[in-house]
Structure 1
Amino acid sequence: MGYLATYATEQGFNVGVFDAEAHGLAVDATIERVNSLSPRWAGFNLLAPTYQISARIAAHLDPSIKIILGGHQAKAMPAEILTDPRMFRCEALVLGEGETRVPELLHDHRSRVELPGVMWLDPVTRNPVTGGLPGTQAHLSPDINSLPFIDRRFLAQDPHYDRGRWEANMVGARGCPYNCSFCGTAVSANPDITIRTRNPENILAEMHQLRDSGVTAFRFVDDLFLGARRVIDQMMAAFTTEDIGKWAVWDATGRINVLHRASDETLDTLANNGLREVALGIESGSERMLELIDKRINPQMTRTVVRRLTERGINVKGYFILGFPTETCAEIDSTVRLIHTLWDLTEPLPGQFRASVFEYRPYPGTPDWHRLMATGRYTAQQLLDYSAVDLTETGVDASMRARDEFNFSVNLPLANAPLDYIRTQLVALAHEQHARTASAA
């Protein structure tokens, strides 16, 4: 949303980003606030777990406000969303990256006929239709090196102060070449996206701009910064030339299979250039589960990569999922054992390992979603019935508050292991991680 707002502002439009969650506003207060501003347009970034909230807000906006939709859920289920009565004022549903298309729509929504990947509901037939003229496909993959740096006035909590530094999020690439079966960014779920990375010079220019405002910590939130050898080599050559490690620290997402093949020299270079923490999608300690979700790793690779990183003082955050479809209690136990092994392995090392564990939930458009629907045992409505899960007896638990992920579930027995067993293990791991973090502070 910040990139869309930045680009539209540069095209002369008066734009704002309203992050109701960051401001702690309830749904009714959000509706009241948007209506009081009387914008010509209201745009929504639709996500599966929060779609019902977005639809409720859209249904209660002033009739004079046009609606534009985008996001993962919009791409995964466009026809269902356009025919949702609560979205009846939607004039454009934008599939994929929208920087160059949104300003065209803001100028005149009838341009949707010419723009690729823009859908709406035909007023006569009441069927979804898609625009696009020959020669307009460039809109689907804007040149990310020519886009303006995001205007952080549109971001409610970025930069933010953490651990003695001002920290900002960065996006170094778009798209992911992998096909993890549970992930909304899986390549098979995003055939419209061309995978591309920003030039090192472009990234460094934004980092230096942020440094001028006091930022010295960065978090690269895209999938490719440490997920492709070519990108690592190019970026580290540029970071070394600019002496980034002398004034900055940074975190990034990595791929275990890529880092497993990295030389000692490459890992030393990452550490010397200020790499503070790597986030790794480990997901499971079961080889069957890892193969099923197309992760392209095994537990031994994970142990090796975590050890090599933490030996160099680079922290590792591991993401895990409990309750994959068909997963057994024994396979969940193997994940629990792997987490404990990684805790014990890194305890004497300069870098530390922390685990972030959450319950499996299906997302529309992913390989898992198609697999589950193909069984004939579930309806889309069942798989979309996300609800909050209280994992504590009293509802107040410091270890739960410290979790990065919001606890929600579709409450279906997708795994062979019972839901109670999954949640018992999840709570135990969260408590243990909280205790370890507190003792290290």
Structure 2
Amino acid sequence: MPRLPLINGADARRTLDALFVNAPLRDYALRPRTNDYTLPVLGMAYIATYAKQAGFNVGLLDAEAHGLGVAETAQICNAAAPRWAAMNLLAPTYEMSARIAAKLDPHIALMAGGHHAKAMPDRILADPRMANLQALVLGEGELRVAALLKDQQRRRELPGVLWRDRLLGTRAAGVADPKTSAALLGPDINALPYVDRAFLPQDPYRSAPTAADRRLADRGHAGWRATAARDGHIEANIVGSRGCPYNCTFCGAAVSANPDTAIRVRTPENIISELNQLHAEHGVTAFRFVDDLFLGAGRVIDEQMAAFTRHRIGEKYVWDATGRINVLDRLSDRDLERLVSNGLREVALGIESGSDRILQAMDKRINAEMTERVARRLVSHGIGVKGYFILGFPGETQDDLNATICHIRNLWAISDHHSGDVRASVFEFRPYPGTPVWHTLIEAGHTPDALLAYGDVDLTGDGAHESMRQRDEFNFSVGIQFGDIPLQRIRATLATLTREQHQRNQDRREAAA
């Protein structure tokens, strides 16, 4: 049997039924990566875990995490000789995926899924580099991928599975049984097995201690021993729900782009059981909830925190989560205190802009005043805030950009007077197919080819210095000026704000040392 270098989770003694391949954000053979950590591909790992539980021998090759080039990724896949290669197609990495697919041994059947597959299936099926694509799986794939691994011919009876009829040159699709379609397309997330971390090369991982960690230790937080505060935690990422009820115009998870996705939240007991399992098996004591709803719906927050309190989660673990500003704005001080006592360390917020005009165009359902109010309340309770911002949104003017710069600095100033910190993460706008703003841009005369021409932007030079290196892989662009502001000014502003945040991080670390 061939050795399986850099392939996670596979049994090298058995024939490989499927190799799941996460394409790199760029070809690292041309410019090596500088970041040493990337978020794990939890969706792909869920599918691999389900297939493994069904008895198949599967592995995961995370080319992004390993910093691989296109040719090396294809070589590893061909050497492993799986029956199937499976890819998650995303707009920024589609070109990398297609180039890898074109280099695969023709004896390896190809299946693909992901947001880009759902948004542009016909374009993918017509791509000659995807000539060996035997199944394009739209939506959540656990049950249908396992069915395909058992018998490729089952694609004819699986909903949301497409392929190219080679004789007719037309799209073919599975004809589903109405009685089973709903379960296949939206599985019961409480019945799915917990993600097998053997498939993930960087999760769990050991983190460096944060200022929030030290604050908790100083308070004598029951879940924090002195060694944990000094050395950092073993951390893991986790998903508490699927689907999003919001319609932010730039987001691939927008409800209008996913009308067939049922919103489902895992039960508190199911989540807590996974937390305890990760602690028992890997020593994990810190978690990051990466889904949209964990702190994005009042009912969910109340239900989860009641269970966390019963199980005394805050005495054992700390955790971070994404949140919705408009939802957090409605929480009482008592609600925030309960979040802290249950271990909340930091909330990631899609703030996006300091311009109310742009926020309205994004359909964010917030304004800058609300964001500042929420941030002030969070940091006053010792909860950190990580704010995400978009520069260069369609229609953005210099006044809008100035408002965002001012907004970020106001948030920093607020945190300077409280125990919680505010971190700003700034990105250049890029369009994703299927989103509301994508359709707006197409109607305005932009072509899909132009909107899909993603390229990486090297901001590690030009005065951006080390502050950009830990996020270098995420600097990519389609090279189009969508608002009134030239791209070079957008990128210079991005670099300046990132440099300032980097300095603030250093100052915080030195002050806490």
Classify the TM-score, shorter chain.
Answer: over 0.9
* 2:122 is aligned with 1:79: yes
Looking at structure 1, the residues matched to 158 and 495 of structure 2 have their Cα atoms a distance apart, in angstroms, of: 48
Q: 1:115·1:136 contact (CA, 8 Å) conserved in 2?
A: no
Looking at structure 1, the residues matched to 156 and 147 of structure 2 have their Cα atoms a distance apart, in angstroms, of: 11
* 2:298 is aligned with 1:203: no
For the residue of structure 2 that corresponds to 1:143, the secondary structure is coil
Please say which of residues 136-145 and 124-133 is displaced more in the overlay.
124-133
For the residue of structure 2 that corresponds to 1:219, the secondary structure is strand
Shift of 1:404: 7.6
Looking at structure 2, the residues matched to 404 and 358 of structure 1 have their Cα atoms a distance apart, in angstroms, of: 11
Structure 2 residue aligned with 1:276: 345
Looking at structure 2, the residues matched to 117 and 15 of structure 1 have their Cα atoms a distance apart, in angstroms, of: 22
Name which of 61, 69, 89 aligns with 1:18.
61
Structure 2 residue aligned with 1:44: 87
Q: Deviations over 1:90-111 (max 9, x none)?
A: 1100000000000111111111
Structure 2 residue aligned with 1:310: 379
**Which amino acid counterpart does residue 456 of structure 2 have in structure 1?**
A
Q: 1:356·1:430 contact (CA, 8 Å) conserved in 2?
A: yes
Shift of 1:394: 5.1
Structure 2 residue aligned with 1:243: 312
Please say which of residues 284-293 and 20-29 is displaced more in the overlay.
20-29
**Which amino acid counterpart does residue 264 of structure 1 have in structure 2?**
D
Structure 1 residue aligned with 2:444: 375
For the residue of structure 2 that corresponds to 1:436, the secondary structure is helix
Q: 1:43·1:67 contact (CA, 8 Å) conserved in 2?
A: yes
For the residue of structure 1 that corresponds to 2:59, the secondary structure is coil
Structure 2 residue aligned with 1:140: 185
Shift of 1:403: 3.0
Looking at structure 1, the residues matched to 273 and 334 of structure 2 have their Cα atoms a distance apart, in angstroms, of: 26
Shift of 1:129: 2.3
**Which amino acid counterpart does residue 417 of structure 1 have in structure 2?**
I
For the residue of structure 1 that corresponds to 2:329, the secondary structure is helix
**Which amino acid counterpart does residue 48 of structure 1 have in structure 2?**
A
Instruction: Quickly say closer, same or farther: Cα 1:53–1:395, change in 2 above 3 A.
Output: farther
Looking at structure 2, the residues matched to 127 and 356 of structure 1 have their Cα atoms a distance apart, in angstroms, of: 44
**Which amino acid counterpart does residue 127 of structure 1 have in structure 2?**
T
How many residue pairs end up in the alignment? 440
Shift of 1:396: 7.4
For the residue of structure 2 that corresponds to 1:318, the secondary structure is strand
* 2:107 is aligned with 1:64: yes
Shift of 1:395: 8.4
Q: 1:402·1:434 contact (CA, 8 Å) conserved in 2?
A: no
Q: 2:464·2:496 contact (CA, 8 Å) conserved in 1?
A: no
Looking at structure 2, the residues matched to 312 and 404 of structure 1 have their Cα atoms a distance apart, in angstroms, of: 32
Q: 2:295·2:321 contact (CA, 8 Å) conserved in 1?
A: yes
* 2:141 is aligned with 1:94: no
Shift of 1:15: 0.4
Shift of 1:392: 4.4
Q: 1:403·1:430 contact (CA, 8 Å) conserved in 2?
A: no
The residue correspondences of 1:269-418 to structure 2 (distance < 5 A) are: 269-376=338-445, 378-393=446-461, 397-403=465-471, 406-418=474-486
Looking at structure 2, the residues matched to 265 and 129 of structure 1 have their Cα atoms a distance apart, in angstroms, of: 55
Looking at structure 2, the residues matched to 391 and 28 of structure 1 have their Cα atoms a distance apart, in angstroms, of: 25
Structure 1 residue aligned with 2:21: none
For the residue of structure 2 that corresponds to 1:351, the secondary structure is coil
* TM-score, with structure 1 as normaliser: 0.98
Structure 1 residue aligned with 2:50: 7
**Which amino acid counterpart does residue 109 of structure 1 have in structure 2?**
Q
Looking at structure 2, the residues matched to 27 and 392 of structure 1 have their Cα atoms a distance apart, in angstroms, of: 22
Name which of 151, 155, 158 aligns with 2:200.
155
Instruction: Quickly say closer, same or farther: Cα 1:115–1:47, change in 2 above 3 A.
Output: same
**Which amino acid counterpart does residue 200 of structure 2 have in structure 1?**
L
Name which of 180, 185, 198 aligns with 2:253.
185
The residue correspondences of 1:101-140 to structure 2 (distance < 5 A) are: 101-133=144-176, 134-137=178-181, 138-140=183-185
Looking at structure 1, the residues matched to 324 and 464 of structure 2 have their Cα atoms a distance apart, in angstroms, of: 35
Looking at structure 1, the residues matched to 60 and 351 of structure 2 have their Cα atoms a distance apart, in angstroms, of: 34
Q: 1:361·1:410 contact (CA, 8 Å) conserved in 2?
A: yes
CA root-mean-square deviation: 1.1
Q: 2:106·2:132 contact (CA, 8 Å) conserved in 1?
A: yes
**Which amino acid counterpart does residue 375 of structure 1 have in structure 2?**
A
Looking at structure 2, the residues matched to 203 and 372 of structure 1 have their Cα atoms a distance apart, in angstroms, of: 40
Gaps of 5+ in 1: none
Looking at structure 1, the residues matched to 270 and 104 of structure 2 have their Cα atoms a distance apart, in angstroms, of: 39
Looking at structure 2, the residues matched to 366 and 110 of structure 1 have their Cα atoms a distance apart, in angstroms, of: 33
* TM-score, with structure 2 as normaliser: 0.84
Q: 1:254·1:278 contact (CA, 8 Å) conserved in 2?
A: yes
Structure 1 residue aligned with 2:97: 54
Looking at structure 1, the residues matched to 471 and 100 of structure 2 have their Cα atoms a distance apart, in angstroms, of: 27
Q: 1:239·1:245 contact (CA, 8 Å) conserved in 2?
A: yes
